[in-house]
Structure 1
Amino acid sequence: MTILLLLLYIAEDVKKVKTRPSDQELLDLYGLYKQAVVGDINIDKPMIDLKGKAKWDAWDSRKGMSKEDAMTAYIAHAKEVIEKYGM
C-alpha cells in the first residue's frame, strides 16, 4: 500500500472515532492533510469566517513541509487520535 493510499484510508477511519477529538487535534489533522494532498497553502486568508481562519492558520503553519513528511505526520497523528478516542 502506498503512503497516499494509507493516508486516505486512515483519513476515513479518523472520521469514525467514538468521541469527537478536540478542536486543536482536528485543526492539526486538517493542516497536515491539506499540506499532504495539496502542498503549500494557495488560497487567501478568510477575513470574516472564524472557522475558515482557524483552518487557514492550521494549513499555513505547515508551509514548507514536503508532501511526504506531511503524509507521514498525518498518519502518525491520526493513529494517535484513533487510539485515544477509539472506533
Structure 2
Amino acid sequence: MGLKEEFQEHAEKARTLPSTTTNESLLIIYGLYKQATVGPININFPGVFQPTVVFERERSKWDAWKAVEGKSQEEAMSDYIAKIKQLLEEAAAAE
C-alpha cells in the first residue's frame, strides 16, 4: 500500500476517534491533514471582527496549519498517519 492510500485509510479511521479526543490532538491532525492535502497555508489570518467564539476556533485551526507549514506533503501524510495510530491506540487502551 502506498503512502497516499494509507493516508486515505487513516483519514477514514480518524472519523472513528472517540469524543474524548483532546482539542489539542484534533488541531494537530487538522493541521497535518491540511498540509498533506492542500500544502502550505493559503488562507488569510481570521478576521478579528468575527464573533469571539468563531474567531478563536478559526484562529486555532489557522495556527495548527501554520505550525506545520514547512513540512512536505509526504512528511505531513506520514506524521498524520502516526498521530491517528497513536490516538486510536490510546483510545483502545482506555476502554
Q: Which residue of 2 aligns with 1:24?
A: 24
CA contact (8 A) 1:31 1:61 kept: yes
Cα distance, 1:14 vs. partner?
1.7
Q: What TM-score results when the alignment is normalised by the length of structure 2?
A: 0.84
CA contact (8 A) 1:27 1:55 kept: yes
CA contact (8 A) 1:19 1:85 kept: no
Q: Give the distance between the partners of 2:19 and 2:45, measured in 1 at CA.
A: 30
In terms of Rg, which structure is larger? Answer: 2
CA contact (8 A) 1:32 1:62 kept: yes
Q: Which piece of structure 1 moves more, 13-22 or 64-73?
A: 13-22
Cα distance, 1:17 vs. partner?
2.5
Residue 77 (structure 2) pairs with residue 76 (structure 1): no
Q: Aligned pairs, how many?
A: 87
| Percent identity (aligned) | 38
Q: SS state of the match for residue 65, structure 1? A: coil
Unaligned stretches of 5+ in structure 2? none
Q: SS state of the match for residue 81, structure 1? A: helix
Which residues in structure 2 correspond to 1:1-87 (within 5 Å)? 1-47=1-47, 48=50, 49-86=55-92
Q: Give the distance between the partners of 2:8 and 2:45, measured in 1 at CA.
A: 26
Matched letter for residue 69 of structure 2? K
Q: What TM-score results when the alignment is normalised by the length of structure 1?
A: 0.91
Unaligned stretches of 5+ in structure 1? none
CA displacement 1:11-64 (0-9 Å, x = unmatched):
111211334310000000000111111110000011232111100000000111
